[in-house]
Amino acid sequence: KAGVTQTPRYLIKTRGQQVTLSCSPISGHRSVSWYQQTPGQGLQFLFEYFSETQRNKGNFPGRFSGRQFSNSRSEMNVSTLELGDSALYLCASSLEGEGVGELFFGEGSRLTVL
Amino acid sequence: GQQVMQIPQYQHVQEGEDFTTYCNSSTTLSNIQWYKQRPGGHPVFLIQLVKSGEVKKQKRLTFQFGEAKKNSSLHITATQTTDVGTYFCALRRGGAQKLVFGQGTRLTINP
């Protein structure tokens, strides 16, 4: 069974640009969550999607958005990038949803904003 | 919001020594999960604890859930270099959907 796949793995952007990250969950998993990981703030919850609906949202500005498609694949978008958005963005999938069962994390997309 | 405190933030040990990380919540928890992230890697699920006072073992790792379901610990006996990484607890308060991760304890080992 293939794991969670995230693309791209690495990317460099400049301030003001926007970025789209993609996540393909494990086959059969309907829940996809996104996290931002930085050395100073640890793992911060961005949002969770379940069956194409955003079920939970973290405390991030509206520049951070996401969506989930009918095949459970998910994308997250960050607009008007700021230097502080440099981070590892992790996607995690699960069968039922956050906190109910284990999360399976992807390798992450490392974003650098210059 | 839900307060999560994980201590210590860093721990350096000699290979063969024991290691313990603690996770404390200000509110009663529905369950708690533990994850390990190797340097340069992604978090990997270790275990989930649900019952008050629960103790679970995985080889040299022992996980405990407090009687009041407000704290948990992960203890590693006789550390090995393969144990290097950051250990995170992840909490879910009853009724809440999302997990809240602790800040993690970074374990380094002197061989």
pLDDT of residue A95: 82
User: If you average pLDDT over every residue of chain A, what do you get?
Assistant: 92
CB A66 within 8 A of CB A74: yes
- The answer to whether the CB of A100 falls within 8 A of the CB of B96 is no
Site of tokens 């080992």: B109
Using a CB-CB distance cutoff of 8 angstroms, which residues of chain B are in contact with residue A55? 97
Residue of A nearest to B50 (CA): A100
Residues of chain B scoring pLDDT < 50? none
Q: Do B45 and A103 touch (CB under 8 A)?
A: yes
Predicted confidence at residue A57, as pLDDT, reads 87
**Sign, Cα dihedral of A100, A101, A102, A106:** negative
pLDDT digits (tens, 9 = 90+) for A19-74: 999 999 999 998 899 999 998 788 999 999 988 999 888 899 999 999 999 999 99
Element (H, E) at B106: strand B105-110
